[in-house]
Amino acid sequence: MKVISSLKEMTLFSKKASAKGSIIGFVPTMGYLHEGHLSLVRRAKKECNVVVVSIFVNPSQFGPKEDLAKYPRDLKRDLALLRPLGVDVVFYPQAKVMYPFGCAAYVDIGGNLTKKLCGAFRPVLFKGVTTIVAKLFNIVLPSKAYFGQKDAQQCVVLEKMVKDLNFPLQVVTLPTVREKDGLAMSSRNSYLAPDERKDAAVIYKSLMLARQMIKKGVRSSIKIKSAMIKELNTVKHIELQYISIVKAETLEDLKTLSGEIIIALALKIGKTRLIDNIRLKL
């Protein structure tokens, strides 16, 4: 497993691999890996000849009061997790290399996709995400890029970017990987104190409540969201940011549920912001 920090070296590696007919699978991460990331790597390994994993905590997607400085980092641990999976390259650039002139040029897909849900609370997030992912695509030159459904809005945004900007690759979205109590795996889970971690299980409980209501025929968005809020309020010290029920492809808000939908929420437990969602086809 090679560790590459140079942009030119990374691109040269990919060009040589492509010239030999290799299909390059790419898993972009911000490190501090967990089973969710590793599941993406395993799928890439099954479907591709060459697998590249990037580890880069992207400064352009963090607002001024967000957790860029304290975001968990442990390269040695990450490499130890990746090595047994047969990863070919870990791309590990520094910020000054990725942004030699600062965060001056951005990729912004526009429209409402990035302004709602998480975008309403983290206004620079998706502009930073689309910018860094576009840069990584141009450097790594993958055939397929793998993302987790936990970041549902991000997946929709990136699929639109790939389509609109004609990137010659496929975006592959894989199911959310969860802890035994249903909590979606996230690097930020490491921020939670023991009592907060216990309380966090209510997130998945609220989503399962919504699923059960839908199975019983409830189609009112207001009724489902009200029931979810009641469930979430069984736990103290939760600050709910949003619950949204939207069309899966467009993120358009739904009053009456139909078709393929995403039920998404974001909240804070203590100082830790967590997101989760489920995707259903009615």
**Which residues are designated catalytic?**
37
Report the distance separating Cα 255 and Cα 245, nearest Å.
8
Phi, psi at 234, each rounded to 5°: -75, -10
Report the chain's terminal Cα–Cα distance, integer Å: 44
Write the DSSP assignment of 61-88 as a string of letters. Answer: GS-TTSSTTTS---HHHHHHHHGGGT-S
Which are the contacts of 225, defined by CB distance < 8 A and separation ≥ 6?
A: 243, 245
Q: Are 257 and 251 in contact (CB under 8 A)?
A: no
Report the distance separating Cα 87 and Cα 163, nearest Å.
27
Residue type, 265: L
Distances in Å between the Cα of 200 and the Cα atoms of 93, 233, 239 are 33, 12, 12
At residue 266, the 3 state secondary structure works out as strand
